[in-house]
Structure 1
Amino acid sequence: MISQLLALAAFLTALVVCLGARPIGERFDVMAVPDNRRKRHAIPTPQVGGLAILSGLMVWMIGSLALSAPPADPLLISILLSAAGLGLVGFVDDQRDLSPPLRIMLLLTFMGIAFALDPHLISKTLNWYSFAETPISPWVYVPLMGLTTIGIVNSVNMADGQNGLVGSMFAIWSGCLILVSSGTMADVAAILLGLSLIFLLFNFTGKVFLGDCGSYGVTFALGLLVARAHVDHLVSLETVIVWFFIPVMDCLRLMIARPLQGRSIFQGGRDHFHHRLIDSMGMRWSAVLYIAVVASSSLIATLYPRFALLCVCGLCAFYFSFARLSEGEVEAAQEDATDTGKAMAGRVVSLGGHRERR
């Protein structure tokens, strides 16, 4: 009964934040203002979705820790402090644009805090399904996790450019964690799933955006759960690769492509994978396809890890069939579509005039 009440309190907290998103966003200056290029939404929109999810998660965690018998679960404490801290970093970044080196330094700091609070997050092996376990020294694993954390958090942040995408991935990854885990890990994943769905109710309609608070803090919380699940042999490395494949691959592509174009990797642009999908099939169907591919591949790799490598091959084919388009090719396609539309409109007008004359 108490656990249900805590979950209800968490969900109500997120709901209240989403319902009061506009005054909160205006009060704390975290409004996404349209620029008619990358940010093409109609009106200034509050970026408090991450605040809604994290505040609900913190309510549930604090309540769970307060009511549980000692000793406290180190996983809960590490998520509570590090995810909340990194979420605060993202919230400040939404307000005043922190420099990339500072964000990376703070991200690594909170990762170190999480490992210090829960040393069980540090694995002694890389656990595969299709291959033998690979022993790994902590002196190698920790720096490797640092690079992985930087990559995943920034890749999810880059993917947050279309309503519903990142929130849906949060829900998908949380659901997959529920399928493979139990106890505290499954409880946290279930709360994150519910909170993500509440956020999506407002995000799909464009009333609330996630913001860096969410793309940093929530992604980091999920990353800690995934790391712990991997350490406990609950999920193979191939399956984890499938879960995060599209956002991470897109981040890697842009890290190579942008410097070749003389641009900073941190400079925004309409060269992300979701932009390629939008330009190819429109806003609605691009989101449906993106979410469906992530959901189906993640579910298959979770329930049937022997097929995870096949999922990776399928995801490669899907990703590069759209990401291979250059910005010039997309613009040319758009111009062709515009010219075709104008020609058809002119033909309709001409036919209409002909009918009137008859």
Structure 2
Amino acid sequence: MPELTFSYSFWAPFLVAAGVAAAVGAVVIRQGAGWGIIDDPKKHKHPKVVHDKAVPRGGGVVIFAAFLAGAVIFLPKTQQTAGVVLGSLMLVITGFLDDKFEEKISPYWRLGINALAAGTVIATGVGISFITNPAGGVFDLGQFQWCMQILGNTRCLWVVADLFALVWLLWMQNIVGWSSGVDGQLPGFVIIAAITMALLGMRFGTDTLQWPVITLAAITAGAYAGFLPWNWFPQKMMPGYGGKSLAGFLLGILAIWSGAKVGAMMIVLGLPFIDAVMVITKRIREGRSPVWGGHEHLHHYLLDMGWSKRKIAILYWATSLALSILALRLKAPSKYFTMATVALIAGGVILWLQNWSIYSKQPAPGNGSKT
């Protein structure tokens, strides 16, 4: 019986979301020019841009349509579901406007929308009430609350738990989006991360609270699976800001809904996480804003070394898959050790690539200098 229930909770929403994404993707590609969402690298010059041909954006519209179809059909009609839908709608509208207008929305405004979308979900009661203690037990984040009367009803804000959830969702929306620079890179590791959350939920098959987790994971995986053929090299469509933000938003919510599986999500997304930390550190060290894009992500360094876009995408997929297997097999204390190990290895590689990129562009002594 649990197997039958899992089959319905996962495969049905997965296939519906994938089908909707594939169909809507074809429409968006056809209508891209008419909607004004074509990204021409000759007009939109930016250090982070790596594509060389005009390509429609609008991936957020595709993902949201697939997510909405899956949510309406399969997710329970609760205020938490409504909060996720409303937050996703904010992101996709912002993303479409960013895709459409040549003058892009300021990263600070987009960060504000990220916070508003996260706050909408948190206001419906979604929060991180505890995190696992590596030494055993848990850290309780739900001890401090601030209650108020609103329209005759008592509403309580769990200060630490809700603040932790806000920071987590903001972080996820940005770091996932930053690892979307080459064709097919983003959808692959998002699919792997979502399926990992579904498999973690499947371990507690008799717990009915896990079925919405499995269903949302299936919808997320299906939406990006349907989008993948349009984004694979050579890409016919880009995720755009909406598609990137939705990926991090939905994965972040999955980690919370599944019972604070923040550690597992951090392991699976180890490469994007460490890449983001290294980039933020580098920008702050150089006196630059951490939210303004540049040509310093891991995929940029690999492109500079001569890697193909296919090879970079597959590297991200393979790394996420290997880390997913680890996350599924490890117990809580081991996960923290694994996170530290991944951080050290990935951080060391990225530091080496940063230095390689700097020194490889310097002329050798006696070459190219005027006498």
Shorter-chain TM-score tier = 0.7 to 0.9
Q: Matched residues in 2 for 1:300 and 1:2: separation? A: 26
Q: Matched residues in 2 for 1:147 and 1:267: separation? A: 19
How do residues 232-243 of structure 1 correspond to structure 2 at under 5 angstroms? 235=261, 237-243=262-268
Does residue 250 (structure 1) correspond to residue 275 (structure 2)? The answer is yes
- Partner residue of 1:288? 314
- How far 1:246 moved relative to its partner? 2.5
How do residues 20-99 of structure 1 correspond to structure 2 at under 5 angstroms? 20-35=27-42, 38-64=48-74, 72-96=77-101, 97-99=104-106
Return closer, same or farther for 1:20/1:252 CA change in 2, 3 Å cut-off: same
Q: Is contact 1:90-1:217 (8 Å) kept? A: no
Which structure has the bigger radius of gyration?
A: 1
- Partner residue of 1:311? 338
Residue from 347, 351, 365 that aligns with 1:320? 347
Return closer, same or farther for 1:130/1:2 CA change in 2, 3 Å cut-off: closer
Measured against aligned partners, the alpha-carbon deviations of 1:134-187 in whole angstroms (never above 9, x if no partner) come to: 011321121222222222211112111111221112101111111012412211
- Partner residue of 1:219? 248
- Partner residue of 1:13? 20
Return closer, same or farther for 1:309/1:29 CA change in 2, 3 Å cut-off: same
Amino acid at match of 1:32: D
SS at structure 1 position matched to 2:244: helix
Q: Is contact 1:50-1:212 (8 Å) kept? A: yes
Residue from 295, 299, 317 that aligns with 2:325? 299
Identity of aligned residues (%): 20
Q: Is contact 2:194-2:218 (8 Å) kept? A: yes
Return closer, same or farther for 1:180/1:327 CA change in 2, 3 Å cut-off: closer
Residue from 194, 197, 220 that aligns with 1:174? 194
Q: Matched residues in 1 for 2:267 and 2:258: separation? A: 15
Return closer, same or farther for 1:6/1:330 CA change in 2, 3 Å cut-off: closer
SS at structure 2 position matched to 1:134: strand
Bigger shift: 123-132 or 160-169? 123-132
Q: Is contact 1:250-1:272 (8 Å) kept? A: yes
- Partner residue of 1:140? 160
Residue from 175, 191, 194 that aligns with 2:219? 191
Q: Matched residues in 1 for 2:59 and 2:248: separation? A: 13
Bigger shift: 45-54 or 35-44? 35-44
Q: Matched residues in 1 for 2:347 and 2:306: separation? A: 16
Q: Is contact 1:165-1:291 (8 Å) kept? A: yes
- How far 1:9 moved relative to its partner? 4.7
Q: Is contact 1:21-1:48 (8 Å) kept? A: yes
SS at structure 2 position matched to 1:230: coil
Q: Matched residues in 1 for 2:354 and 2:122: separation? A: 41
Amino acid at match of 2:317: I
Q: Matched residues in 2 for 1:2 and 1:302: separation? A: 22
Return closer, same or farther for 1:106/1:260 CA change in 2, 3 Å cut-off: same
| Paired positions, count | 326
Bigger shift: 304-313 or 135-144? 304-313
SS at structure 1 position matched to 2:258: helix
Bigger shift: 327-336 or 315-324? 327-336
Q: Matched residues in 2 for 1:241 and 1:8: separation? A: 27
Return closer, same or farther for 1:124/1:260 CA change in 2, 3 Å cut-off: closer
Q: Is contact 2:13-2:219 (8 Å) kept? A: no
Mark the runs of 5 or more structure 1 residues left unpaired by the alignment: 337-358
Q: Matched residues in 1 for 2:13 and 2:252: separation? A: 23
Amino acid at match of 1:89: T
Which protein has the bigger helix share? 1
Q: Is contact 2:58-2:99 (8 Å) kept? A: no
- Partner residue of 1:115? 122
What TM-score results when the alignment is normalised by the length of structure 1? Answer: 0.81
- Partner residue of 1:354? none
Amino acid at match of 2:19: L
Q: Is contact 1:17-1:48 (8 Å) kept? A: no
Residue from 201, 207, 210 that aligns with 2:239? 210
Mark the runs of 5 or more structure 2 residues left unpaired by the alignment: 1-6, 145-157, 202-209, 364-371
Q: Matched residues in 2 for 1:139 and 1:325: separation? A: 40
RMSD of aligned residue pairs (Cα, Å): 2.8
- How far 1:199 moved relative to its partner? 1.2
Q: Is contact 2:197-2:217 (8 Å) kept? A: yes
Higher relative contact order (CA 8 A, sep 6+): 2
Q: Matched residues in 2 for 1:28 and 1:310: separation? A: 48
Amino acid at match of 1:164: G
